[in-house]
A and B are shown apart, each in its own frame.
Chain A
């Protein structure tokens, strides 16, 4: 092989690997990313049941109820709309009524959000950024709650 051919072989291998990587990324960006919505946005977009998304907002006061041993039901609100959520499992340590929460899952046929993951803030000065932004947009931000 001449020097030029060798170089072409290397460049070819580089382009091939890069091409595979680009293909995988584009494909994954279609399928695997999860959008974040507040209850108002979720209702405005009329999301179909079974489509995964992240729901963020505040846990509505007085809304937490136990269904059975490990399943609970609560309402997420962004001060505009509300969305009922069910979740089975251990809640984060700082899951409280009136606090920020992000849940990941999908809507069922009755419009209830079935969460498989619930994230709450990690300490008393931290609020999930998406929740803070969404609440600011709605004009329900109290200063001193985070940021």
Chain B
């Protein structure tokens, strides 16, 4: 019964979305306020219906209702409750319901909190949002029905792929989707603005909080995925340039560019056409990512759907929305009036360089991701494009960006003085230089670029800190003044400093792991010792253990440094009973200097193959991502961006405060 309710709710949601996609648009076109207002209750109803479907599927999972094919294929009665719940989106059909749920959630939020949006703009935004929802609801109902029944109901399910049974991975898709799908709001606003033919500072203020929220969740979602790969796949790596990873990274790159260009629209009324284009491209990249993951053209751990009908359907949606919005853009963008003038060296100019480098970097990732597909289609040759490609293309595009980031917030609008900005960064430059010398000395100059990379990280962190210190007058003014100024500093300025500093923290982690990871492989018998990066690892014993749904062999490893025991690690090899599948569970012990990482391989005679890594500063990669997320969160609480706060009338005379800084 519950499955039929869920199925019915999905179909109703499609009908509501279809109304929401057409009626308000018509209302806005004719200037009929009554028709335009239909959008708001529709958005709420649509959310309620999709939520009902999602909950129905969730109940199916929690109660292990194996008469639902989807539950049977992906769950098992002995599975821990957490994974029964997260199993809802651990498969293609369920994850599509989650996708649509988040889409509806964003639409409903605009409807609920956008009380002071101009009514016609709001109607158009919600209509465009509903078009996307309708397309994906139709896709879900027609090709990926999660509520299909099985007759007779099987006794027990097939279980979830055990490497997917993991807390970080369980919550990785919702975060990722909030990010991915959240960019749909920027897209809907962009398309609505094109229909209206009007983009102004107020428009940018409405769009920015949504874009920022989406960006924050995408940041944390990508970080969670990479953290999962780091400790679960047992290869000690944290980013593989896997096409599915790239699929989420590309919208992040162009979303970051969008976040920055929207500032220019808001503060200076310039770059409007470019910002609209970026909003369209960012969501198009999200759709492309969905297509790549869902269509089965890529084979990867993450790709579950291998059904050509689905691939063609998503491709249709992709071409419809990307093609449609770009056509609209080509037709309507010339109507947008060009705004404020500025010199090439200015805050605006700096943000343009940021945008150019980010989009060019994004383009290199796009080419690297699609090239193997294109080559195989055209010539039949199979190639793999991996880390060497991206290191040779993407990384060189990012280095100038990282060098320039600390300058950005120090440049003034309209016309800026680079020398003055550089002078203010003397502390950052000095510390970066000291870092470079110190790391070159510590690592005996190997590899050469690593010392430069470490300096870059410090440059970003200290650069962000000095900008804040300057603005609050730290070290110059009396303490009371500093505190007063710190309180008065807009939250968005704190957010910027945090996000840029977090980026620096991440750079330190990435550079250190890439350059100085140590690795040892050995066949070890109990009692034997190997050394990695100054740690002596002794395999004391291997003992069997029994978990709720798996049996494992656990290696008891003692780590000593200079004769003193500093850690005990327990790498394991698990066999999951339901699927008879083996996984290696890495044991990771973080130290201040980095992660000690031990994986146990197969048994060989009396011994086990043990692989041990020392990953210097590895945790900084994820700590950096969390700081960036917090930076976004702090920025989001800025009074001026509070959702719905800006009004068009007031917005026209606002930029004065910020420009005076």
**Does the CB pair A17–B301 fall under 8 Å?**
no
What's the minimum C-beta distance from B358 to chain A, rounded to whole angstroms?
A: 10
Bound CA–CA A129/B341 (angstroms): 53
Bound CA–CA A78/B545 (angstroms): 39
**Interface of chain A residues 4 through 61 with chain B (CB within 8 A):** 6, 9-10, 13-14, 17-18, 20-21, 24-25, 27-29, 31-37, 54
**Does the CB pair A34–B384 fall under 8 Å?**
yes
Bound CA–CA A13/B383 (angstroms): 33
> What chain A residues lie within 8 Å of B521 (beta carbons)?
70, 88-90
**Does the CB pair A31–B392 fall under 8 Å?**
yes
**Does the CB pair B609–A32 fall under 8 Å?**
no
B33 within 8 A of A: no
Which of A14, A27, A90, A129 touches B599 (beta carbons < 8 Å)? Answer: A90
Chain B interface size range: 35 or more
> What chain B residues lie within 8 Å of A123 (beta carbons)?
161, 163, 579, 581
Bound CA–CA A28/B343 (angstroms): 35
A142 within 8 A of B: no
B353 within 8 A of A: yes
**Does the CB pair A33–B389 fall under 8 Å?**
yes
What's the minimum C-beta distance from B278 to chain A, rounded to whole angstroms?
A: 13
**Does the CB pair B388–A32 fall under 8 Å?**
yes
Q: Which residue of A lies closest to B162 (CB)?
A: A123
**Does the CB pair A6–B344 fall under 8 Å?**
yes
* 1/0 contact string of B221-252 vs chain A (CB within 8 Å): 00000000000001000000000000000000
A97 within 8 A of B: no
| A33-B385, A93-B582, A129-B299 known; A28+B360 contact, CB < 8 A | no
A109 within 8 A of B: no
Chain A interface size range: 35 or more
B315 within 8 A of A: no
- Of the listed stretches B49-57, B363-371, B453-461, B506-514, chain A binds B363-371
**Does the CB pair B604–A66 fall under 8 Å?**
yes
Bound CA–CA A20/B584 (angstroms): 42
Q: Which residue of A lies closest to B576 (CB)?
A: A123
* 1/0 contact string of A93-118 vs chain B (CB within 8 Å): 11000000000100000000000000
**Does the CB pair A17–B607 fall under 8 Å?**
no
Bound CA–CA A130/B376 (angstroms): 11
* 1/0 contact string of A59-72 vs chain B (CB within 8 Å): 00000001011100
> What chain A residues lie within 8 Å of B301 (beta carbons)?
122
**Does the CB pair A24–B581 fall under 8 Å?**
no
What's the minimum C-beta distance from A138 to chain B, rounded to whole angstroms?
A: 15
Bound CA–CA A77/B360 (angstroms): 42
> What chain A residues lie within 8 Å of B234 (beta carbons)?
90
A79 within 8 A of B: no
A interface, by DSSP: helix, strand, loop or mixed?
Answer: mixed
| A6-B343, A18-B360 known; A93+B385 contact, CB < 8 A | no
Which of A3, A14, A147 touches B356 (beta carbons < 8 Å)? Answer: A14
What's the minimum C-beta distance from A82 to chain B, rounded to whole angstroms?
A: 20
What's the minimum C-beta distance from A98 to chain B, rounded to whole angstroms?
A: 16
| A29-B371, A89-B521 known; A35+B393 contact, CB < 8 A | no
**Does the CB pair A34–B386 fall under 8 Å?**
yes
**Does the CB pair A69–B522 fall under 8 Å?**
yes
**Does the CB pair B392–A21 fall under 8 Å?**
no
> What chain B residues lie within 8 Å of A27 (beta carbons)?
392
**Does the CB pair B364–A25 fall under 8 Å?**
yes
Q: Which residue of A lies closest to B356 (CB)?
A: A17
Bound CA–CA A104/B609 (angstroms): 21
Q: Which residue of B lies closest to A27 (CB)?
A: B392
B397 within 8 A of A: yes
Which of B383, B392, B522 touches A34 (beta carbons < 8 Å)? Answer: B383
What's the minimum C-beta distance from B608 to chain A, rounded to whole angstroms?
A: 10
Bound CA–CA A6/B349 (angstroms): 10
**Does the CB pair B601–A28 fall under 8 Å?**
no
B306 within 8 A of A: yes
A128 within 8 A of B: yes
Bound CA–CA A17/B236 (angstroms): 34
What's the minimum C-beta distance from A108 to chain B, rounded to whole angstroms?
A: 20
**Does the CB pair A10–B352 fall under 8 Å?**
yes
Bound CA–CA A122/B240 (angstroms): 15
> What chain B residues lie within 8 Å of A89 (beta carbons)?
521, 609, 611
* Interface of A toward B, CB cutoff 8 Å: 1, 3, 6, 9-10, 13-14, 17-18, 20-21, 24-25, 27-29, 31-37, 54, 66, 68-70, 88-91, 93-94, 104, 122-124, 126, 128-130, 133, 147
Can you list 26 A-B pairs with a CB-CB distance of less than 8 A?
Answer: A10-B349, A13-B352, A13-B353, A14-B356, A17-B356, A18-B363, A21-B363, A25-B368, A28-B392, A31-B392, A32-B388, A33-B372, A33-B383, A33-B384, A34-B383, A34-B384, A35-B382, A35-B383, A37-B382, A54-B384, A66-B604, A70-B523, A124-B580, A126-B299, A128-B299, A147-B306
Besides the known contacts A36-B383, A91-B601, 14 further A-B residue pairs in the complex with CB atoms under 8 A apart: A10-B352, A17-B356, A20-B396, A25-B368, A28-B392, A29-B371, A32-B388, A33-B384, A33-B385, A34-B385, A35-B381, A70-B523, A93-B583, A122-B301
